[in-house]
């Protein structure tokens, strides 16, 4: 069930409408403290959806929402769950996104 929900939700994190993307990121930020480590099965699906495009967004609202989501993940999930997906994404990012994710890894 969790996979089905987040599979549908993931596409909102890549929506062509920036307002939809921003609201999806803000919603994700509110869900993380509630779901905590229950997100473990979908974390490899969720992190790329959060990071791709959103961390390098020129839209300040989307960028801020994406960084808030990453902060919430680091705060509420076991860091061992985040290590592999963060490392994988950091290898292939560039610009500000690579810097932000590398800082989270450190």
56 falls in which pLDDT band (50, 70, 90)?
A: very high
- As a whole number of angstroms, the distance between CA 17 and CA 33 comes to 26
Inter-residue contact 31 to 51 (CB < 8 Å): no
pLDDT in tens, 24-48: 999 999 999 999 989 999 999 999 9
Report the 10 Å Cβ neighbour count for 80.
8
Predicted local distance difference test score (pLDDT) of residue 45: 92
Write down the mean pLDDT value for the chain.
Answer: 94
Token pair for 70: 């990453």
**Is the pLDDT assigned to residue 1 strictly greater than 90?**
no
Encode pLDDT of 70-100 as tens digits: 999 999 999 999 999 999 999 999 989 999 9
Residues 6+ apart with CB under 8 A from 60: none
């Amino acid at each position: 069930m969790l996979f089905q929900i987040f599979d549908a939700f993931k596409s909102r994190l890549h929506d062509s409408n920036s307002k939809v993307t921003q609201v999806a990121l803000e919603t994700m930020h509110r869900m993380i403290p509630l779901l905590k480590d229950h997100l473990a099965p979908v974390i490899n699906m969720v992190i790329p959806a959060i990071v791709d495009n959103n961390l390098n967004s020129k839209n300040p609202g989307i960028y801020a929402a994406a960084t808030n989501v990453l902060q919430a993940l680091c705060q509420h999930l076991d860091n061992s769950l985040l290590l592999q997906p963060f490392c994988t994404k950091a290898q292939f990012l560039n610009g500000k996104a690579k810097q932000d994710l590398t800082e989270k890894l450190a």
